[in-house]
Amino acid sequence: MEERFKELAAQYCTIDAKDITNDMTFRDDLGFSSLDLMTFLGDLEDEFDTEFELGDDEQKLSNMRTVGDAIEFLKSYID
């Protein structure tokens, strides 16, 4: 799952999927804008056939700092 996650994340940056590590931050290390992160989360919904709840959760998504944070978040939906 993590491998596919990083392949999708690599679409938004110039770093190869294999070089993305869990401690990297979306904004400073990967250069994501807030909208890149939102769109990427939309890709994750499609890829892993899940639906993130909006409302309060949307705030949580936008505050997600690291790749590891987002992987844990995704796991909480698909486990």
Binding region for other proteins (CB under 8 A): 10-13, 27, 33-36, 38-39, 41-43, 45-46, 52, 54-55, 58-59, 61-63
CB of 55 to other proteins, least distance (A): 6
CB of 43 to other proteins, least distance (A): 8
CB of 72 to other proteins, least distance (A): 18
Q: What is the largest CA-CA distance in the chain?
A: 33
Query: Token match 């939102």: residue?
Result: 38
Q: How many CB atoms lie within 10 A of CB 79?
A: 6
